[in-house]
């Protein structure tokens, strides 16, 4: 057995009387992508902040790259790269200058700094704006630059806290392919996201955090298997109709935000007909009816009781 790149056991964090992390356990194996999913306020950023030495834990043990966080934070810092929700980009400098600054500050960089900067600018599709001040960059360009800055020095363990929030679909895909390349090169990625598709695309393993506790962890396929299989999704015009239909189908899971019910059914024509007959008998009709196989969205809903934020793709 190889030592995990990150090993977390019984992690606790409190702010005043509020427990933000309540005994969190997980391991991340080297050369894999681990994705921490959770709704707003679940404790994802706090986890990243603890693991990256920015915030001190109140309990538990954490080892990163084999180093104990409590006794050897400096060695942890030397092994990791971090991209946060608040970009470290200096607005007064150009993209190229920001990257060059990171090269100059980073003792791990060996070789031709200007070449490293140029390669990163190309890789992140920032070359055309490289010599403009970053105050003129869009939010997405800033995020890409922030990640590029993280990669200077080639960290082996990389923390990405909601790296694609606010990125357009093309930039998101660019970032996904960069993550895949990094992993193919042997890096370990710890990623937080609210986008289930992102977790499905990238994660070898994922964990769902809900109010400071992990409510599930496994591979995307393992998590999908946790919840019932194929179902029919019925979407109603208003809350009153949803209420009435929920009475007719007590076995269904309801999604109040989407005015939808998920009725377990095998997707065959007979069960579909029986379901529509039941609606008819109660003089109900759905705005939309679709047969669905479970995806991570369903897992998330089943585990946390609510959907993630609307994806702007
Ligand atoms: N410095 C702090 N002082 C007090 N409470 C805090 C502090 N930092 C975070 N919290 C609280 O801890 C909880 C978890 O916050 P955290 O930012 O880790 O969640 P998150 O899952 O990253 O959410 P988001 O997706 O919104 O970033 C929240 O209730 C937050 O208000």
**In the chain, where the domains are located:** 6-225, 231-293
Alpha-carbon distance values, 171 to 110, 128, 131, 197 (Å): 29, 15, 20, 15
Atom 17 in ligand 1: residue holding the nearest Cα: 45
Q: Using the mean position of ligand 1's atoms as its centre, give its distance from the Cα of residue 144 in Å.
A: 24
- Which atom of ligand 1 lies nearest, measured to the CA of 192? 22
Atom 16 in ligand 1: residue holding the nearest Cα: 43
Answer for the pair 123, 178: CB distance below 8 angstroms, yes or no.
yes
Q: Per-residue pLDDT averaged across 228-257, rounded? A: 91
> pLDDT digits over 241-250, tens only?
999 999 999 9
Atom 9 in ligand 1: residue holding the nearest Cα: 46
**What pLDDT does residue 313 have?**
32
Q: Using the mean position of ligand 1's atoms as its centre, give its distance from the Cα of residue 211 in Å.
A: 10
> pLDDT digits over 166-218, tens only?
788 888 888 899 899 999 999 999 999 888 888 989 999 999 999 999 999 99
> pLDDT digits over 1-58, tens only?
578 999 999 999 999 889 999 999 999 999 999 999 988 889 999 999 999 999 999 9
Q: Is 141's pLDDT higher than 90? A: no
Q: Is 311's pLDDT higher than 60? A: no
Where does 211-265 show beta strands of DSSP type E?
213-218, 231-235, 253-255, 260-264
- Neighbour-count burial of 170, counting CB atoms closer than 10 A to its CB (0-12 exposed, 13-18 middle, 19+ buried): exposed
For residues 307 and 290, give the distance between their C-alpha atoms in angstroms, rounded to a whole number.
18
Q: Using the mean position of ligand 1's atoms as its centre, give its distance from the Cα of residue 43 in Å.
A: 6
Q: Using the mean position of ligand 1's atoms as its centre, give its distance from the Cα of residue 220 in Å.
A: 25
Alpha-carbon distance values, 208 to 43, 47, 49 (Å): 11, 12, 17
Answer for the pair 86, 163: CB distance below 8 angstroms, yes or no.
no
- Which atom of ligand 1 lies nearest, measured to the CA of 45? 22
| Residue 193 in contact with ligand 1 by CB distance below 6 A | no
Return mean pLDDT, the chain.
88
Atom 6 in ligand 1: residue holding the nearest Cα: 15
Percent of the chain with pLDDT over 70: 94
- Which atom of ligand 1 lies nearest, measured to the CA of 43? 18
| Residue 44 in contact with ligand 1 by CB distance below 6 A | yes
Rounded to the nearest 10°, the torsion over CA 35, 39, 40, 43 is: -50
Residue 83: name the closest of 181, 202, 193, 198 by CA.
Answer: 193
| Residue 36 in contact with ligand 1 by CB distance below 6 A | no
Q: Using the mean position of ligand 1's atoms as its centre, give its distance from the Cα of residue 208 in Å.
A: 16
Q: Is 310's pLDDT higher than 50? A: no
Q: Using the mean position of ligand 1's atoms as its centre, give its distance from the Cα of residue 60 in Å.
A: 19
Q: Per-residue pLDDT averaged across 86-115, rounded? A: 83
> pLDDT digits over 221-230, tens only?
888 777 767 7
Pocket-testing residue among 14, 45, 161, ligand 1, by greatest number of atoms within 8 A of Cβ: 45
Fold (topology level) of 6-225: Rossmann fold (3.40.50)
The phi and psi torsions of 10 (rounded to 5 degrees) equal 60, 35
């Amino acid at each position: 057995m190889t030592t995990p790149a990150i090993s977390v056991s019984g992690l606790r964090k409190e702010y005043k009387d509020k427990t933000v992390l309540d005994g969190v356990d997980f391991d991340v194996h080297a050369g894999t992508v681990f994705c921490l999913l959770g709704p707003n306020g679940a404790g994802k950023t706090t986890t990243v902040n603890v693991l990256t030495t920015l915030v001190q834990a109140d309990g538990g043990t954490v080892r990163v790259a084999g180093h104990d966080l409590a006794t050897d934070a400096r060695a942890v810092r030397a092994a990791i790269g971090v991209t946060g929700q608040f970009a470290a980009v200096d607005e007064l400098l150009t993209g190229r200058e920001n990257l060059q600054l990171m090269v100059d500050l980073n003792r791990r960089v060996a070789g031709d700094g200007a070449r490293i900067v140029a390669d990163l600018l190309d890789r992140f599709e920032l070359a055309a704006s490289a010599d403009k001040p970053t105050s003129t960059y869009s939010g997405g360009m800033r995020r890409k630059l922030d990640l590029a800055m993280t990669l200077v020095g080639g960290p082996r363990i990389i923390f990405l806290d909601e790296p694609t929030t606010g990125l357009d679909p093309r930039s998101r895909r660019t970032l996904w392919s960069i993550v895949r390349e990094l992993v193919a090169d042997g890096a370990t990625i710890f990623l937080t996201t609210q986008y289930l598709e992102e977790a499905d695309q990238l994660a070898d393993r994922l964990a769902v955090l809900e109010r400071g506790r992990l409510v599930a962890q496994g591979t995307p396929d393992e998590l999908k298997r946790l919840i019932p299989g194929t179902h029919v999704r019925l979407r109603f015009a208003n809350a009153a109709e949803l209420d009435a239909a929920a009475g007719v189908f007590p076995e269904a899971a309801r999604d109040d935000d989407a005015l939808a019910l998920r009725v377990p059914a095998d997707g065959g024509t007979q069960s579909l007909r029986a379901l529509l007959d039941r609606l008819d008998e109660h003089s109900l009709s759905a705005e939309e009816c679709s047969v669905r196989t479970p995806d991570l969205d369903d897992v998330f809903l089943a585990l946390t009781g609510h959907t993630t934020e609307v994806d702007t793709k």
